[in-house]
Amino acid sequence: MTIPENRIQLNTLVRAKPKIYGSWPNFWARDINSGHVGQMVDRWVMNAKDGFMGIVPLRIRAHHSEQIPPFSASTINTWLAIEGMFRHRIESAVVAVTLGHIDGMNRERLWVPGGPEAWDQNDKPWGSMDYDWNESILLPLIEQIGWHRFRFGGR
């Protein structure tokens, strides 16, 4: 197998016409082989020494990787990981990551009733703090634990 030279060739390797939202088909939870998810979560997600678990989970890069300031952790990336772990039924890890992220959001006791968009390399809030980023983390947890799917803007 040769390395694809462009995005079209790469997309055909993942799946024929994946149903995704966005432009990163290889990173979405539904395209990952379920047989490897448990091992990947143990090795990378829950590993506080070498993996992505940090003071505010989940880190954007593994601990020993080159970091990209100003971000250390991001709610959006964490949401993607949480959604993927729920889809693959890695319940204990996903609850630990979700609750750890919520706890991290509330560490600073921000004056705004919301959560930061991201955290910097010193684990301090960074970016918008008034869009209530914790909803993106809380809704998947409530939906999965309570078996209730929320819908907005429609019936």
Tens place of pLDDT for every residue, the chain, 155 residues? 444 454 444 444 444 444 544 444 445 555 667 778 888 899 999 999 999 998 888 888 888 888 777 788 888 888 888 888 888 888 889 889 988 888 877 766 555 556 677 888 887 888 777 666 667 677 777 777 776 665 655 55
Give φ, ψ of 23 to 5 degrees: -120, 20
11 burial (CB, 10 Å; 0-12 / 13-18 / 19+) is middle
Read off the pTM: 0.67
CA atoms within 13 A on the CB side of 90: 23
